[in-house]
């Protein structure tokens, strides 16, 4: 009788199973699919197709656009390793900036945070890395932080994003 009860409970049709890849992670162990940028913005998980560029043999640019919103990453170098997060365009630095609605001109930028390039394939022009920061509203015309509003990005990752010339 115990065996019959256990068998019936195990076959209960009301039980649901969440698929392993329900977050569109493409089967990657990191959870971020190739060619994507993934991050948590103020508690909301995002995973978007990313694009990028390789500029003047000196820096890489990775971004995602979603309607009018855009997250952009400037990487002033092509080496793997840790980059300083700042608004200054200088070798060894990285800039993280976000436009919540491109038509309004609002811009948020990180003054500090973490940024690592974990892989750069120069032959195939692909870059991977991770990042996190608190971004403050920024006056791009005067290059200054206003610090009246902010957004927080955690668990940021970009994986095998194409950065052609």
SS3 8: helix
Distance between CA atoms of 62 and 161, rounded to whole angstroms?
7
> Is residue 90 a part of any domain in this protein?
yes
**Interval 80-88 mean pLDDT:** 97
> Is residue 19 a part of any domain in this protein?
no
> Is residue 21 a part of any domain in this protein?
no
**Interval 147-164 mean pLDDT:** 97
- Domain of 137 in residue numbering reads as 26-162
| pLDDT band at residue 30 using 50, 70 and 90 as cut-offs | low
> Is residue 1 a part of any domain in this protein?
no
> Is residue 20 a part of any domain in this protein?
no
How many domains, in total, are found in the chain?
A: 1
Hey, what are 39's tokens?
A: 């991050």
pLDDT at 77 exceeding the cut of 50: yes
> Is residue 122 a part of any domain in this protein?
yes
């Amino acid at each position: 009788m115990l065996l019959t009860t256990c068998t019936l409970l195990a076959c209960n049709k009301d039980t649901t199973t969440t698929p392993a890849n329900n977050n569109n992670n493409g089967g990657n162990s990191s959870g971020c699919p190739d060619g994507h940028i993934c991050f948590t913005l103020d508690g909301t998980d995002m995973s978007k197709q990313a694009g990028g560029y390789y500029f003047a043999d000196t820096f890489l640019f990775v971004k995602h656009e979603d309607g009018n919103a855009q997250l952009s990453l400037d990487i002033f170098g092509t080496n793997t390793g840790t980059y300083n997060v700042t608004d200054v365009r200088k070798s060894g630095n990285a800039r993280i900036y976000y436009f919540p609605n491109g038509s309004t001109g609002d811009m948020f930028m990180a003054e500090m945070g973490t940024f690592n390039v974990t892989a750069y394939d120069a032959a195939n022009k692909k870059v991977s890395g991770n990042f996190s920061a608190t971004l403050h509203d920024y006056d791009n015309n005067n290059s200054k932080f206003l610090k009246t509003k902010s957004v927080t990005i955690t668990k940021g990752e970009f994986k095998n994003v194409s950065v052609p010339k």
